[in-house]
Amino acid sequence: MIIGLRHDIDTSYGLRQGLPKVISLEEKYDVRSTFFVRVDILHSDRDIKILRWILDGGWEIGLHLINTIGDPKLPPPKSELEVLKNLLGDSIYGVTPCGSTIGFKGDTTWRVMDSLGLKYMEGYGLPRFAVDTFVIPTHLSLDIHYVRNFGEVKGYKMFKKALLEMLEKNGVATVLTHPEWFVRSVGGSGLIKIPLTLLRRKMMDKVYDIFLQEFKDKVKFKRYVDVFRLLRSTER
């Protein structure tokens, strides 16, 4: 059984403060994963060095697409990809839609992502028309769904049940977290996050550690590009 590990980096805070926490936990279990990055959060050479550091360490970087509908008021989707390629070379294989700006808009977003000519993409469900880009199975959102809504204990229990059902049915599943929630609480909104963070409530570092520990001998954790290669090979 295979679990693809995905992390979406939506903020500079998540990149600079949260990502090292994720890397530390994954190194502990000799795991590698994929980080999907918004290009508009890369503000300095320091940010680029972080991405190159994890790329050199065996992690994967993908594009977390902002302009998910090809809106002419925003930089074109292909220019977002070019920014990442210019910084990191031709090691960008996949794309996912960012939900914090326009968000995922069904067929329109599938077409936009497909037009980038990458190896794989992940959205929600499957496109209703033929695409050239391989589609990765839809993820389970460990942090912003399970832990945010139900807490570390109940949320993880519900997540685990859904994950095991998906693995039993398909033999493969994908799991999403966001690095910023490894250093602050995913619970509540606004100023309530401060006391929740100080009390270490609804934070992801402990939950993710438990997840990796519990499943490390049951499954193979993979980067998304590895999931793509494995699933593509079974189609032939």
Weakest mean pLDDT among 97-111, 127-141, 186-200: 186-200
Burial of 208 (0-12, 13-18, 19+ CB in 10 A): buried
Percentage, residues of the chain above pLDDT 90: 89
Which residue is associated with the tokens 């832990």? 147
CA distance 99 to 118: 20
Pick the residue with more confidence: 42 or 188?
42
Q: 140-196 pLDDT, tens per residue?
A: 999 999 999 999 999 999 999 999 999 999 999 999 999 999 999 999 888 888 888
6 DSSP assignment: E
- pTM for this one? 0.95
Residue 233 is predicted with a pLDDT of: 84
Q: Does the domain made of 2-141+172-180+219-229 have the CATH classification 3.20.20.370?
A: yes
Q: 8-29 pLDDT, tens per residue?
A: 999 999 999 999 999 999 999 9
Q: How many residues does the chain have?
A: 236
Cα Rg, the chain, nearest whole Å: 17
Two tokens, residue 110: 């599938």
Q: 107-129 pLDDT, tens per residue?
A: 999 999 999 999 999 999 999 99
Two tokens, residue 78: 């292909």
- Spatial CB neighbours of 190, under 8 Å, sequence gap ≥ 6: none
Q: Give the pLDDT band (50/70/90) at residue 100.
A: confident
Phi, psi of 233 (to 5 degrees): -65, -30
